[in-house]
Amino acid sequence: MWVLYPELKGIDEVLDDDLRIATVGLGKMGLLHSAILNMLKPGIVKAIVDKSYLVTFGGSRLIRNVKFCRDISKMIHEVEPDIVYITTPTRSHYPIASQLIEKQVLNLFLEKPPTDNSIKASSLLRKCGSNHKLMVGLQKRYSATFRHAKKLVEEKMLGKISSVEAYIKSNDVAAPTNRFDRLGKGVLLDLGVHLVDLIQWIFNVEKVEKAAMRKIYTNVDDHFQASLKLASGAEALIEVSWSDVSRRLPETCMKICGEKGIIEVSEDYLKLDLPGSTKTARYRPHYYQGIPQVNLADPEYTLENMHFLHSIHYAKQPLTSLQNTLKTMKIIDELYEKARKTH
């Protein structure tokens, strides 16, 4: 485990800390992170903030050891949280994070995407002091399979990289809807940000070459294709869709071709093919032995939260800090700009 997750050494000490965590927004991701955190350390989530009266009233009656509020200022005054998770809709991330920074909450977790554009992300960074830690929920960097792929690329196992083909697809939007109209952006920002971040993290993107998007069920992008030039000179072709009805579950796949061989990698497996030697494959059970058994979602979510707690305890910036993922947001902006000019 430590080969792929060296930053998590000493995690047992971290989980003994008496931290106070609050979650703003009790939708799907708010529930998920709160549940994982409480399974890692029972009772660590002290407060929930949600604008829904039904959520706060019902929650306060069902869960007595958690403070339920509809107002962030009231929650901060009564709970004084060490960490706040922001899991509300994307457009609200910037004002909520700004408010929490102004109130001197030093440790913030922003669910992906951190903001709806890189300008707002840069603005948040300027508001922060040196002690602030803003982590972004780009959990694919904590997937063991993609970490393994990055390690093999860095060790030149494939030699010089010649091409990359990658996609992330789901069937999350399979009927007409206007719920993304106010945001003005669709699948690339919501889902594709994971894929763009992985490619930037593993290979370093130098330039956006081509981009195209199309609508299927919404008034924004439901399908996105692009070509990226990597720092090595290779080309990465990406495809993103949330309207692929053939998908039962979301899937991220990447095919990395080099002069010595090929790596095929997803959340579930890594296959290495080096001509002239034996083909090897590793699957999910090989990778996640020894991590806490939090069976609520893919293990990468648990590792992501463990990483954040570890970073806070040891006063280090997280791997997916807002600073470290800012280039990803800039690439997303460039992709939209290029696609709109093409369209």
Model pLDDT, residue 290? 79
Q: Where in the chain is the domain with CATH 3.30.360.10?
A: 143-292+322-342
| Stretch 273-287: mean pLDDT | 90
Model pLDDT, residue 58? 87
pLDDT bracket for residue 1 (50, 70, 90): low
> In the CATH hierarchy, which fold is given to the domain comprising 6-140?
Rossmann fold (3.40.50)
pTM comes to: 0.95
39: left (phi over 0), alpha (psi -120 to 50) or beta: alpha
Model pLDDT, residue 244? 96
Q: Which residue has the higher pLDDT, 17 or 144?
A: 144
Q: Are 208 and 226 in contact (CB under 8 A)?
A: yes
Of the ranges 8-17, 46-55, 190-199, which is most confident?
190-199
Model pLDDT, residue 216? 97
Does domain 143-292+322-342 fall under CATH 3.30.360.10? My reply is: yes
Q: Are 116 and 91 in contact (CB under 8 A)?
A: yes
Per-residue pLDDT for 276 more than 90?
A: no
The token pair at 203 is 């290979």
Model pLDDT, residue 15? 76
Model pLDDT, residue 193? 98
The token pair at 40 is 């890692």
140-to-21, 147, 156, 258, 311 alpha-carbon distances in Å: 23, 9, 22, 22, 17
